[in-house]
Structure 1
Amino acid sequence: MIRISDTIEQFIKEMISDTKKNMVEIQRNELANHFCCAPSQINYVLTTRFTTEKGYYIESKRGGGGCIKIYKVEYVENKPLVDIILDKIGGNITYDGGVKIIDALMEAEIITCRESNILKSVINDRTLASITNNRNKVRAEILKSSFIAIML
């Protein structure tokens, strides 16, 4: 059974893919009315499904029905995607943070399912079990090196 959150997410993604700008502007209340749900449900979908880790940027304006702009980020200020990803990883990253980035790249068809599975296996806590200090730092370095190799 499909949950309302999944339906709303798919609807917004289809709206974005139908535009040439990789951006869509929505009214929170109108979308809530369309799906017969509370505006807080729309907020939930936006905050959990359209994060920077997943390749989205959201601008929200208060008042006037809650206008929201959702951008599908590929390049920011002529900055290559690989640089954006490396910045997002930073000096250390948790397994969950790494998985979110990996899943977003696979969804955007930047990496394959096979590459996704390999990356997840090399950054999981079982693989890094012998590293007791700075595990998240090592995980970040592994991810950054891997993304550079895949994307360049």
Structure 2
Amino acid sequence: MRNISDIIEGYLKAIIEEEQNGIIEIKRSEVAEKFQCVPSQINYVIKTRFTEERGYAVESKRGGGGYIRIFRVQANSRKELIEHILKGLHNGASYTMAEDIVYRLLEEEVISERESKLILAAVDRTTIHQPLPERDLIRARILQAMLLTLIYEQLD
């Protein structure tokens, strides 16, 4: 059974897909009221499910007339998408960040379900048995090598 976070995520993504420009503005309290949850639940969903690694940008304005603007960041090509992801890996990568990257690559049909499982197995904490921050740096290097391979594979 899906939890409330999954339901809210699905709702917001559906609204984004309906918009021609891929941008939505929401009021946190209105969405919370719709799903009968606390506004912090909406914050949690936006913070964890609408990340840059998953292909979204979020802006917010606080106050009485405040809003949260969520928009989908579209790459012009698979190569451009991978290059954009590579730029974000220079300071290391947490496992959550790696999951988000893999999720986006799956969603954009750059990799298959099987490839996603292989990537996640390679960057898992039990595979990279090192203390932090070394583990995050090694994880980023593994991801970079895999992503570079995907770029060059597509050029063949």
- Measure how far apart 1:65 and its partner are: 4.1
Tell me if 1:55 matches 2:55: yes
Name 1:120's counterpart in structure 2.
Answer: 120
Tell me the alpha carbon deviations over residues 87-110 of structure 1, each in whole angstroms, 9 at most, x when there is no partner.
111142233332222123223333
2:144 corresponds to: 144
Tell me the residue number matched to 2:14. Answer: 14
Return 57-66 or 92-101, whichever deviates more: 92-101
Query: In the aligned structure 1, how far is the partner of 2:40 from the partner of 2:147?
Result: 35
Query: Normalising by the residue count of structure 1, what TM-score does the alignment of the two structures yield?
Result: 0.82
Kindly tell me: are residues 65 and 94 of structure 1, through their superposed partners in 2, closer, same or farther at Cα, counting changes over 3 Å?
same
Alignment of 1:3-152 (within 5 A): 3-75=3-75, 80-129=80-129, 134-151=134-151, 152=154
Partner deviation per Cα, 1:101-130 (whole Å, 9 max, x = no partner):
21232233332111101111222344444x
Alignment size in residue pairs: 149
Q: Deviations over 1:14-41 (max 9, x none)?
A: 1111122222111222212222222222
- Residue identity over aligned pairs, in percent, reads 40
What SS does the aligned partner of 1:69 have? strand
Q: What CA RMSD, in Å, does the superposition of the two structures yield over aligned residues?
A: 2.5
After superposition, the Cα gap between the structure-2 partners of 1:127 and 1:37, relative to the gap in structure 1 and judged at 3 Å, is: closer
Query: 62-71 or 51-60: which moved more?
Result: 62-71
